[in-house]
Amino acid sequence: MLTITTPSRLHLTLIDMNASIGRVDGGIGLTLNEPFIRISAEKSDTVEITGTSEHAERMGAAAMKLLPEGAGVRITIENDYPSHTGMGSGTQATLAAGMAVNKLYGLGMDVNRIAEKAGRGGTSGIGVAAFEKGGFILDGGHKFSEKKAFLPSAASRLAPAPVLLRTDFPGWDILVAVPGTKGVSSEKEVNIFQKECPVPLSDVEKLSHIILMQLLPALVEEDM
């Protein structure tokens, strides 16, 4: 029996949704120890997901994309947290199931390859990097010539964005207030990207300036 525990993450912002420079996306985010997803898994002849969870179907789909032909897996969801609340449960649930299959069957895949095969991380690399190493993360986005459109991660099939910086986060308290309603997803999320992008270049430049000259130095100097 194999047990996997994932963190959650706060995706603080996408950086460049203008793409005139030739790259798109990019982002910063922070890993949280709680809430978390925990599963146990073992080899099986079929794919079986147990435990009351809205992520069961997602985990089953991820497992089937990675399983060797004729193989199966039994996954028990022991703890989870809700989807579409801004903490990345979809990516974490997908990676948990994918990593379980990877380890049980000795597939030798790294987390980026698992994410790519399972269809996660195609816009933001924060959730994938949070799963792998945690901490505060800055990713470098994607070449727009490869992505070709403004899309959320769930609708993009590119590999996760490269991590430019991963550093430990200072021991500052984080208060997470989850609203009573869920955020948009699926087609509605795609429509927002298509309607609002590209954003003005001046917005991207201002945001990049703040990240480089205020936020990152504050982290390194631990000066909030």
Residue that wins the pLDDT comparison between 82 and 37: 37
Mean pLDDT, the chain, rounded, equals 92
Above 90 in pLDDT, residue 216?
A: yes
Tell me the three-class secondary structure of the chain, residue by residue.
CEEEEEEEEEEEEEEECCCCCCEEEEEEEEEEEEEEEEEEEEEECCEEEECCCCCHHHHHHHHHHHCCCCCEEEEEEEECCCCCCCCCHHHHHHHHHHHHHHHHCCCCCCHHHHHHHHCCCCCCCHHHHHHHCCCEEEECCEEHHHHCCCCCHHHCCCCCCCEEEEECCCCCCCCCCCCCCCCCCHHHHHHHHHHHCCCCHHHHHHHHHHHHHHHHHHHHHCCC
The CATH class for the domain spanning 2-221 reads alpha beta
What pLDDT does residue 83 have? 85
**Model-level pTM?**
0.88
Domain extents for the chain?
Answer: 2-221
What are the pLDDT digits (tens) for 1-16? 999 999 999 999 999 9
The band of 58, judged by pLDDT with boundaries at 50, 70 and 90, is very high
What are the pLDDT digits (tens) for 179-200? 777 776 678 888 888 899 999 9
What are the pLDDT digits (tens) for 136-154? 999 999 999 998 888 887 6
What pLDDT does residue 207 have? 98
The mean per-residue pLDDT over the stretch 44-70 comes to 93
What pLDDT does residue 126 have? 94
The mean per-residue pLDDT over the stretch 64-70 comes to 96
Residue that wins the pLDDT comparison between 19 and 155: 19
